[in-house]
Amino acid sequence: MKKTALLLIVVLSCFALLFAACSSQAPEAPANNAAEPPAEATVVTGITVFQTAAAGLQTVDVAGVAAYPIADFLAAAYETAPSGNIVLVATDGYMASSTMEDLANYTITLEGGEAPLVVGDESLPGELKVKYLDYIVAGNEVIYFASADISAADLLTKVQMGEAASYAFTAADGFSKSAAADTFTNVIISSADGTVNVTLPEMPAPMRDLVRIAAE
């Protein structure tokens, strides 16, 4: 009886060892509900400065503040206006998603303690009520609301501008000058007295009324 029990224990131990060996060689099953890899982000190739591009536009009164119709801004700033999904980003990093088609129904004001700010009537959706707008991403375009001095290097990093050997800086009067990317720590974009200016290498004075930065 003891021999039979001992034999049974030996046989069961062999089966256990064999099962463990097979399990260790089996491929690991994929995790349930594995996340899909994120879609590749669109590379930003151009930045338009809102204040400069909107400077010549007629404002409308909305809730007691002067505001720029976004549809008018898009028509003035772009030959082909960006469309589709957009992301609105505040200076504190807060983000909200919408579409350019929805945004174009409203206005943006640069007045008041919470400006830049999208304003409109009671139909204005909550996702557009972003205070202290910093920039709006629309495909490969960025609409930038200049509110403080910033180096070109920091601005391009912030909006995730695509890498290029040089970038073209264009003023409202059409004057344009290129600057190499490796000089950008010395390229300062400043906002003062309602104008946005940029200090570029080899220029004796700042370029006034900066309206666009584009990768070359």
Strand partners, 161: 44
Per-residue pLDDT at 201 exceeds 90: no
40 domain residue, yes or no: no
CA pseudo-torsion sign 205, 47, 214, 212: negative
Residues 49-88: tens digit of each pLDDT: 999 999 999 999 999 999 999 999 999 999 999 999 999 9
24 domain residue, yes or no: no
CB contact at 8 A, 133 and 108 = yes
Say how many CA atoms lie within 13 Å of 124 toward its Cβ: 14
* Number of structural domains found in the chain: 1
37 domain residue, yes or no: no
In sequence order, what are the residues at sequence separation of 6 or more whose Cβ sits closer than 8 angstroms to the Cβ of residue 168?
A: 176, 177, 178, 212, 213, 214, 216
Query: What pTM value is reported for the model?
Result: 0.80
36 domain residue, yes or no: no
Residues 144-178: tens digit of each pLDDT: 999 899 999 999 999 999 999 999 999 999 999 99
21 domain residue, yes or no: no
Range of the domain at 195: 46-215
34 domain residue, yes or no: no
Most confident of 40-44, 74-78, 181-185: 74-78
Q: Which residue has the tokens 């000058």?
A: 177
